[in-house]
A and B are shown apart, each in its own frame.
Chain A
Amino acid sequence: MKLLEYEAKEHFRRHGIPTPQGRMITTPREARDYTAELGKPVVIKAQLPVGGRGKAGGVRFADTPEEAAEVADALLGMRIKGLTVEKLYVEEKLSIVNEIYLGVTVDRRNKAYVVLASSEGGMDIEEVAAKTPERIVRHLVDPVHGLRGYHGNLVAKRLGYGGRKMLQFAAFVESLYELALEMDAELTEINPLAEVEDGFTAADARLNVDNNALFRHGELEERLLESYQSELTEREMKARSKGLTYVELDGNIGIIGNGAGLTMATLDTVMLHGGRAANFLDLGGGATPERIGEAAKFVLGDERARALLVNVLGGITRCDHIAEGVVAARREVAVEKPIVVRMMGTNEEEGRKILKEAGVETLGSMEEAAELAVKLAEAS
């Protein structure tokens, strides 16, 4: 779950991480009033859970309260990467000496948190990592001992800081790591971290919280739906409300599978036979006939889907349940669409019998089923 800049900065301040003076606003009038209150030039930033807002025109400057109101008026309601700007963050404009990158994320390979820092701030850090890896300072945090003061000093030294600035930067590193742990961050980063005359301050803030850890962050659980709204399409939101794991794609063959790996393999097989999937829908383990029916109805109800391909490996999930669900969904959906079912495993014979009686095509091989679904989608 991606927190917005202004929310992330609230957590930063709680951990003693220096941030510029700023406030979240939702109207031009508030922008004007707050700029007047600050009494200095400001930067006004669209609050969106996506990167690249600067390039898209979502970050602008204003010297006076009136100008701030105008800029806010222009930004509010703007569409950036498919999202509407509803919130802005007004912040004092900084005189930046240097832009730094600092982040904490999970290193899968080493099974630990890693601190990443670079003097090439303000840029896409993945690009820096790819082109000039020597410009990135990497410190793997020992999960047993944690990040100690001297580790922060080392990171600061390797960025070229000494004396007071070294201590200031080291404190930044330590606080950001503590924040990452406390907030169960998948990623927290500051890009750019502004080096100013007398120290450092977080000019931007990103904090992505591990969804699996939301039970430890009750206050964020309420925000989850809202955060999905900005990340998911309308159909994906609808699927989520039905408890379905669904990703919208741009093809014309509806796909239902069980397990992420097998469902992805189904998408691939359809693609290799010249077709395109309209969606990814993973039933997960042990789906009941009702749940399967719900899923099948949802995919059949997608007007873009010209055919439905169901690919299930029966384990905990029973093939007869799959058959019952599919047959029930077909009965309930008004539009007639071709359905191809491939299933294997638990109660396969019973399932095939149910489908045969209902006149639904069943195949034993994933490739044959994909090929047939592609053909039927083209023909209908």
Chain B
Amino acid sequence: MTRFIDKDTRVLVQGITGSQGAFHTHLMREYGTKVVAGTVPGRGGQTIEGLPVYDTVVEAEESHGVDASIIFVPAPYALDAALESVEAGLDPVVIITEGMPVRDSIELMARARLSGTTIVGPNTPGLIKAGECKMGIMPAQVFKKGEVGVISRSGTLFYEVAAHITRVGLGQSTCVGLGGDPVVGLDYVDVLRWFEEDPETEAVALIGEIGGDAEERAAAFIGDGGFTKPVAAYVAGRAAVPGKRMGHAGAIIQGSMGTAESKMNALRDAGVAVGEFPRQVAESLKELL
């Protein structure tokens, strides 16, 4: 079983001197994440937040034994940054960057497949192992260590559901933001496979949105017996207008494909408890556990 992240994961921040990079490095460390170094080409030798900055990933890796990378660099440089970490053997590589061209994502995913590297994102809030390690930009206060694995394409909606899970007295194991772009490293099925094996995850909250067919495929996987723990889901976008883009590249309905109804029905047919409102995901899980 591939490890995502835990309290021992040694994290590199690419783009650490930018405002987002620096800000979130501070918050990640506050949460307990072992951030050990950062990189920015041309800034090697500097320090930020008390951490050493290197020009290249290989140098950071050799000096500190880095495991994983989180990327905050601007979109035009995101492919380079991610390839550099993949080549250096870091895993997972989490890409927070928004606006990465889809051609670049395709190239990156093909390269990552060759080495078996897990890419999270792009355009993701990241991932968090509650109480141990946060590799992302999510607000820490809504999470509490517990038994529910969370998978989401969206960011704030993911925090909303996580907050409800905490409010009903449950907590989270690992939470994965898949990312809102058309081409991302992980899909629901990849993470469900992982949660099936993860002894700390007893149930899953699946948060979807309109566009694409990732939720339908997750439903098929669950329906075919690929995932055996309880699942509760919420799908956003019932009020969306076909053809209108709702922010995310992913959140657009084309024709009848990828509507909220089609996703909700597919999940229901697979035995998933589908809520009308985000809060009901947490309430269903409370009953199921």
Contacts and interface: CB of A to CB of B under 8 A. Distances in A.
Contacts of B217: 109
A261 B137 contact: no
A144 B111 CA distance: 8
B246 A212 contact: no
Contacts, number: 165
Nearest to B254: A126
Interface stretch (A262-270, A294-302, A354-362): A262-270
Interface stretch (A25-33, A36-44, A190-198, A252-260): A252-260
Interface in B134-161: 137-139, 141-142, 152-160
B101 A271 contact: no
B100 interface: yes
A259 B138 contact: no
A109 B258 CA distance: 13
Interface stretch (A83-91, A310-318, A323-331): A310-318
B106 A113 contact: yes
A255 B277 CA distance: 17
Contact of A265 (B105, B106, B160, B214): B160
A210 B182 CA distance: 11
A344 interface: yes
Interface string A176-195: 00000100101000000000
B160 A313 contact: yes
Interface in A268-288: 268-272, 276-277, 280, 282, 285
B241 A249 contact: yes
Contacts of A345: 139, 141-142, 159, 163
B240 A212 contact: no
Given A109-B217, A264-B239, A280-B246, A285 B137 contact: yes
Contacts of A112: 106, 110
B26 interface: no
Contacts of A143: 106-107, 109-110
A247 interface: yes
Contacts of A142: 110
Nearest to A127: B255
A313 B241 CA distance: 24
A346 interface: yes
Contacts of A271: 238-239
A234 to B, nearest CB: 15
Given A109-B217, A345-B142, A261 B158 contact: yes
A255 to B, nearest CB: 10
Contact of A261 (B23, B104, B106, B155): B155
A270 B104 CA distance: 38
Interface stretch (B40-48, B62-70, B205-213): B205-213
B76 interface: yes
Contacts of A21: none
B276 A261 contact: no
B15 to A, nearest CB: 16
Contacts of B182: 106, 108, 186
B101 A313 contact: no
Contacts of B236: 261-262, 264-265, 268
B245 interface: yes
B101 A184 contact: yes
A268 B103 CA distance: 32
Nearest to B101: A213
Contacts of B276: 272
Contact of B240 (A111, A245, A257, A264): A264
A272 B255 CA distance: 23
B279 interface: yes
Interface in B221-247: 234, 236-241, 244-247
B101 A216 contact: yes
A261 B244 CA distance: 14
B169 interface: no
Nearest to B163: A344
B246 A247 contact: yes
A315 B210 contact: no
A262 B160 contact: yes
B248 interface: yes
A154 B177 CA distance: 39
Given A264-B210, A264-B240, A280-B246, A259 B155 contact: yes
A247 B155 contact: no
A263 B183 CA distance: 22
Given A210-B103, A213-B101, A264-B209, A315 B138 contact: yes
A120 interface: no
A227 to B, nearest CB: 13
Given A313-B160, A315-B138, A260 B103 contact: no
Contacts of A221: none
B238 to A, nearest CB: 5
B251 interface: yes
Interface string B102-136: 11111101100010000000000000000000000
B270 interface: no
Contact of B277 (A144, A257, A272): A272
B154 A259 contact: yes
7 interchain residue pairs of minimum CB distance: A261-B154, A259-B156, A260-B247, A261-B157, A315-B139, A143-B110, A213-B101
27 contacts: A109-B213, A126-B257, A212-B102, A213-B103, A247-B246, A259-B156, A259-B157, A260-B246, A260-B248, A261-B251, A262-B236, A264-B154, A264-B157, A264-B239, A265-B234, A267-B240, A268-B237, A272-B238, A277-B239, A280-B246, A280-B247, A285-B137, A316-B139, A344-B163, A345-B163, A366-B278, A367-B277
Given A259-B155, A315-B137, A367-B277, 15 more contacts: A108-B214, A109-B217, A144-B110, A184-B101, A212-B100, A212-B102, A260-B246, A260-B251, A262-B155, A271-B238, A313-B139, A313-B156, A315-B139, A344-B163, A345-B142
